[in-house]
Copies of this chain bind each other. A is one copy, B any other.
């Protein structure tokens, strides 16, 4: 809608691939160097772009701050977090919280007591939408025609032999998920990883988020993981209750701490 802004914003994903100099940016944008320069300058002033010592441009620091503020403003996350922690404490497995946004499903929170390595790297990342348990729940909740249209547009990569192979299979799966009110991913994305998920619903009954517990085969079998289903569903229910205002919000939110 706005050419200038459009061009400027196209620079961001471009730089996300790696640092680039003025010429490269101008070329890939299809504009004159001077134009690219001015766009980069504006981005720079806003801190979205950083100029490193070799004069090349990189994505800047403000981007982190913005992304962080964005995630902190998601009220579902705020409410859900203590529940996720509690669930994690009682079962020990990885717990995820995800939402549906603009055709993508992405993690907005995660608690993992065992593998702290690179934990943050998953938050904000779109999930494998055709296989992830949380994705199934969120998509199953869409109105019929929309769901159908969406399923048609998807790719169905075979991450493993148990991945969802096609749109019809996916739609069948969604029907089942909607029916039973919970979902699983049994090795559909990574051979050795299973998940159980339950939806979090707002006051109007629509799924606003979904949560899941994931564990590798080597720790618990599929059957053992399914044992946790009632607990997961209860947790999701508790969050739903609080989110939709039915429950008086047990205690106040968390605080923060810090260090250097």
Contacts and interface: CB of A to CB of B under 8 A. Distances in A.
Contacts of A259: 94, 96, 185, 189-190, 193, 195, 214
Copies in the complex: 2
B13 A66 contact: yes
A132 interface: yes
B101 A112 contact: no
Given A59-B73, A65-B124, A1 B260 contact: no
Interface stretch (A46-54, A147-155, A171-179): A46-54
* A contact patch SS: mixed
Interface residues of A, number: 86
A22 interface: no
A42 interface: yes
A172 to B, nearest CB: 18
Interface string A108-123: 0011110011111111
A91 interface: no
B64 A9 contact: no
Contact of A111 (B12, B117, B128): B117
Contacts of A113: 116
B43 A9 contact: yes
A250 interface: no
Given A6-B42, A64-B71, A65-B124, 10 more contacts: A1-B38, A1-B45, A2-B39, A12-B46, A17-B69, A59-B69, A67-B68, A111-B117, A121-B256, A122-B258
